[in-house]
Structure 1
């Protein structure tokens, strides 16, 4: 169960990261509320998962999922350029995340 919660909380990390970029310094209410909600869910899930998973592994997986999804979302929406190198690096990051799970 901890792994599932960790994956979902990593997804919410991507949500709050994207929302943070849209708050314009917390001057926009909608993105600011999304940021706070997603941050709360994300951190709560990470804390729950870390009750049974090693801190380093849990944190690395959480950050990796969030970072990967944030970059993929930004590329999909045109906010960030797409290149073969970026795609390969994201694939490598995802491979490392899976490796951490398998090594656990």
Structure 2
């Protein structure tokens, strides 16, 4: 989520089909205190998995997937992202089973993690 103010409300549906709404709630999303790349979920996966990363301040983010031979398989992100929490879905339906690496660069921050595609 981008940094900012968000509003939500819940809808409760009873067994008889009637429903009511809660009051509108306000939530303030603040910038993460650090850059972070989380482990993909689910892992192992087939054929899709989510990758979440946190951006401390606005800047260019590059997120790429590689095979174990170091060949780039896919560029998932290569653009400016605002401060906040971001989620990317990686669809590997065209790739063979195996271990893959995903790498992120945000300014001077760099991290790499492994994921397992099982078909």
Q: TM-score range by the shorter chain?
A: under 0.3
Q: Which has the higher strand share?
A: 2
- Higher-Rg structure is 2
Length-normalised TM-score, structure 1: 0.26
Give the structure, 1 or 2, with the largest relative contact order (CA under 8 Å, sep 6 or more): 1
Length-normalised TM-score, structure 2: 0.24
